[in-house]
Amino acid sequence: MRVTSVVALSAGIAASAGTSAQDWSTVPFSTHAEYQAVNPDGSPAYTGGFPLRLRGVLLNSPGTVFDNTPNFVPVNWPATAFQFGARQQVYFQATDPGDSGGTAMFLAQSLGNHPVNQDDLFSYTDQEWLDELARVNFDDATGHEFQAGDLVEVRARIGLHFSGKFNVNEAHNNDPSADFEVVLIQAGAGLPSPTSIEVSDIKDASDADIFDPTRTSGGELYQSTRVVLRGVTVVDPAEWTAESTTAAVTDGTRTLPLLLGTDASITPASAPAGTFDVVGIMDQEASVRPVGGNDGYRLVVTSADNVWTRFCGDQNGDGAVTPADFNAWILNFNSNNPIADVNQDGDVTPADFNAWILAFNQGANGQRCPG
């Protein structure tokens, strides 16, 4: 049983009467593109209101972006302002035809430390927090524990815009009337192939964020979607630590901040040397808070395995792209080895041979792949 409390919700948006009162069959699906639309100043252009239904594929498993281990922080205002303790952020990407982009779902435990609350009544105790995680991290009908790659429906009673993106959240309110729900559509549907980008797609030549309110270029185009950032190096290996918000990569001219996830194997000793590609989720934490913002794009990297250093053409793993990799590709293809998936579409098919030819011709200038 969670503490029931009442808080004024911003922007005149009211939550529904309760978790059991909403008839979701009467709520039409909205698109991520509609929900994430922005004005020229970065403020939200969404006018659809709540309740809201969205569909998409989970891009990360719970607990991989922020540490969601119970961590109650009692209110000691103002010293504990914004100290939310345990947090959870899970992104899901559009899959419906005609839709684009994605959305983040955010939860925090010690909501009493938000300036609009300033009272422990608004926070979850450690046990209440565990109960809340059980509610949103497991499908109610099947008991399935949600993982990256699951196709889901998200039912939101409320959400808030924060620093450039419209989140699904509880609007800093632990009352059940603000709960959102996650419903399984298909377990293990599969992650979307990452969109290949470079730092120059996010930053201009002066190293400033590219902001496009039409969301057809720059960080807005890729926000809350899975991407692979090509041809970068680590700025400072000492910052390559789990849960770091100060790590960054560069293409030699431009830099892009990272948010590194909770994977304990992300350490300074594991920081990649030289040039690499890295898979992550494009995010925004703009300098304008809480509403608005046209900067602050960053890449969320949840696993050390998302760092790719092997050239796609290197099929025998010797660190070089040579004619010997032709026979190695054939062996990998015949054994359905994922390394043979040179075009990175998620399947080992004859189309990967042409992709290998291209990778071979590019040699040390080619793209990198996992493995």
Is the pLDDT at 10 greater than 80, yes or no?
no
Does 199 lie in the same domain as 178?
no
Q: In this structure, are 290 and 318 located in the same domain? A: no
Give the pLDDT mean for 96-121: 98
Q: What is the arithmetic mean of pLDDT over 218-228?
A: 98
Residue 141: Cβ within 10 Å count: 8
Judge whether 112 and 3 are in contact, CB under 8 Å. Answer: no
Domain boundary among 155, 186, 217: 186
Residue 241 has pLDDT above 50, yes or no: yes
Residues 40 and 140 in one domain: yes
At 8, is the pLDDT very low, low, confident or very high (cuts 50, 70, 90)? very low
- pLDDT higher than threshold 60 for residue 289: yes
- Do residues 179 and 218 share a domain? no
pLDDT at 4: 34
Domain end residue (candidates: 165, 186, 207):
186
Clarify whether residues 45 and 150 are in a common domain: yes
Could you tell me the pLDDT band of residue 9, with boundaries at 50, 70 and 90?
Answer: very low
Average pLDDT of the residues in 153-173: 97
User: What angle is formed at CA 91 by the lines to CA 90 and CA 96, rounded to 5 degrees?
Assistant: 140
Domain membership flag for residue 33: yes
Q: Is the pLDDT of residue 50 over 90?
A: yes
Specify whether 43 is located in the same domain as 129.
yes
Confirm whether 1 is domain-assigned: no
Confidence of residue 18 (pLDDT cuts 50, 70, 90): very low
**For residue 114, what are the CA distances in angstroms to 11, 78, 117, 127, 371?**
17, 10, 5, 20, 43
Which of these three, 153, 186, 219, is where a domain ends? Answer: 186
Determine the average pLDDT of the residues in 225-251. Answer: 98
Residue 3 counted as domain residue: no
Q: Is the pLDDT of residue 3 over 80?
A: no
Could you tell me the CATH number of the domain that includes residue 284?
Answer: 2.40.50
Does 222 share its domain with 346? no
Domain identity same for 289 and 337: no
According to the model, what pLDDT value does residue 21 have?
82
Q: Flag whether pLDDT at 14 surpasses 60.
A: no
* Residue 141 forms part of a structural domain: yes
Give the chain's mean pLDDT: 94
Are 81 and 165 part of one and the same domain? yes
Question: Does residue 2 belong to any structural domain of this protein?
Answer: no
In a domain, 269, yes or no: yes
Q: What integer pLDDT is reported at residue 82 of this predicted model?
A: 96
Is the pLDDT at 97 greater than 60? The verdict is yes
Quick one: CA dihedral 231, 235, 238, 244, positive or negative?
negative
How many whole angstroms separate alpha carbon 76 and alpha carbon 113? 8
Residue pair 232/252 in contact by the 8 Å Cβ criterion: no
Question: Which of 10-14, 249-253, 304-308 is predicted with the least confidence, judged by mean pLDDT?
Answer: 10-14
Q: Identify how many contiguous H helices and E strands the chain contains and give both numbers.
A: 5, 16
- The alpha carbon torsion through 162, 164, 166, 172 (nearest 10 deg) reads -10
Helix axes 324-334, 351-362, angle to 10 degrees: 150
The string of DSSP letters for 24-76 reads: GGGSPBP-HHHHT-B-TTS-B-----SSEEEEEEESS-TTSSS--S-------
* 32 lies in the same domain as 58: yes
242 lies in the same domain as 112? no
What pLDDT sits at residue 91? 99
Tokens 């304008």 correspond to what residue? 288
* 76 domain-assigned: yes
Reduced to 3 states (helix: H, G, I; strand: E, B; else coil), residue 222 is helix
* 104 lies in some domain: yes
Residues of the domain holding 325: 311-369
Tell me: do 234 and 290 sit in the same domain: yes
96: enclosing H helix or E strand: none
DSSP state of 332: H
Distance CA 222, CA 101 (A): 6
Q: How many domains does the chain have?
A: 3
- Report the percent of the chain where pLDDT is more than 90: 92
Q: Residue 20: which pLDDT band, with cuts at 50, 70 and 90? A: low
